[in-house]
Every structure is written in C-alpha cells, then in structure tokens.
Chain A
Amino acid sequence: DTGVSQNPRHKITKRGQNVTFRCDPISEHNRLYWYRQTLGQGPEFLTYFQNEAQLEKSRLLSDRFSAERPKGSFSTLEIQRTEQGDSAMYLCASSLRTGGWETQYFGPGTRLLVL
C-alpha cells in the first residue's frame, strides 16, 4: 500500500497529558501537511513541510502544538498539555510539488478525544 498512513487511528487521553501522532506520506512526495477537522466542518490547515523545512504555520497552531519532519520523510505532531478543545480528527496529507498546481492526498486521520 503506497498511500498516506497515520498512527494511531484513535487516541483517548486525559486533559493535561501530551500526545504525539505520526504520519508517513507517500514515499516520493516532498510536501506534507497537517490539518484538523471538527464535526460539521471541513479540514482546517495547521502547518506544512517541504522536505524537512516547516514553511508555514496557521494561527490555529498554538504554542502547545509542535510538528517535525526530521529527515524529510515521516512527520510527527505533538500536542502538549492537551485541552478538551483539542478533541478533533487530525489529518495528514502529502503532495508532490513539481511546479504549478498540486493535489494533496490524505491519510485516514487520527481521532483524538480529550477527557
């Protein structure tokens, strides 16, 4: 399977705990994106990487959120001191930027529930 994979698929945690999610993009894709989706809404952009460089961060990404893509392959998204408002589906997408327009391909998501 050469699609985008995300782990874990589900995470339940208590308020104040730290959580980390992993995304493995399609292997030849140089761009990786993180989105958050809540019920009844479309995905909202959080941040993206081109290779290992983090090029853009949304205002939604508070100081408690950090993302890395250390070797330009997989990425991790960490949320520190989780809050109930962090409960959402966290989606990862990857794309191949070759100039012009690009299409992003999404993974299945990690559903986070903060109690």
Chain B
Amino acid sequence: DQQVKQNSPSLSVQEGRISILNCDYTNSMFDYFLWYKKYPAEGPTFLISISSIKDKNEDGRFTVFLNKSAKHLSLHIVPSQPGDSAVYFCAASASDYGQNFVFGPGTRLSVLP
C-alpha cells in the first residue's frame, strides 16, 4: 500500500523549458512534504519543502505547489538545465504520527540540451 505515489517513472524535457514532477498521497494526516534530488552513487539531496499551511513555496528555479483537497503536490523547475537531470523523490511526514518520512518511488528527469 503506497502512501506516496509518483506515477511517472521518467520524464524528458528540453533545456530551458519547464519540468513538472507530480506526487500524490493517500494519508490525510501528512502535513509536511519535501522534494529530494538524487544523483547516481550519492545520497538524496534536499531540494525544497512545503508545510500544509501553505499552498506554494518558491526557491529560485524551484517551486512546489500543494493541493490539499486533491492530496497532490507538484515540483516545477523553470528553466530546466542539464544539471537537473537526476531522480526526484517526493517525501511526506505526519507530525502527529512519528517522525519518519514516507518516500515515493521517484521520477527520473532527463533534461536534454
């Protein structure tokens, strides 16, 4: 039973265009969401987060949107760069139910020059 889903295993985007990565969750108790980026042979690197009291958080080229009613969040990267090519994981936690994060299976983003 996957509580955090990333239904697109892979995504290809042209350099300079927008990349949109999607994530859906089922547990309504989740109130904090994060995106991590992972290169091969490295651990996940924190990218951006959003709490349930917000519907948008922006950091440079990265913006995360949260739609609580749809239990959906998305990560927008504008403009996409070849160095953004990596696997992106969505993670969620519920502050009232322990501290471990639940991760999605990841989406592999390829930014083509």
Contacts and interface: CB of A to CB of B under 8 A. Distances in A.
Contact of A105 (B46, B95, B105): B46
Contact of A42 (B95, B98, B103): B103
B62 interface: no
Interface of B: 4, 9, 31-32, 34, 36, 41-46, 49, 51, 89, 91, 93, 95, 98-106
A42 B91 contact: yes
Q: Find the residue from B43, B46, B89, B99 having the highest chain A CB count within 10 A.
A: B43
Interface of A: 4, 6, 31, 33, 35, 40-45, 48, 55-56, 58, 91, 93, 97, 100-109
A23 to B, nearest CB: 11
Nearest to A92: B43
10 tightest Cβ-Cβ pairs between the two chains A and B: A42-B103, A106-B43, A45-B100, A101-B32, A106-B44, A108-B43, A43-B103, A42-B89, A109-B43, A107-B43
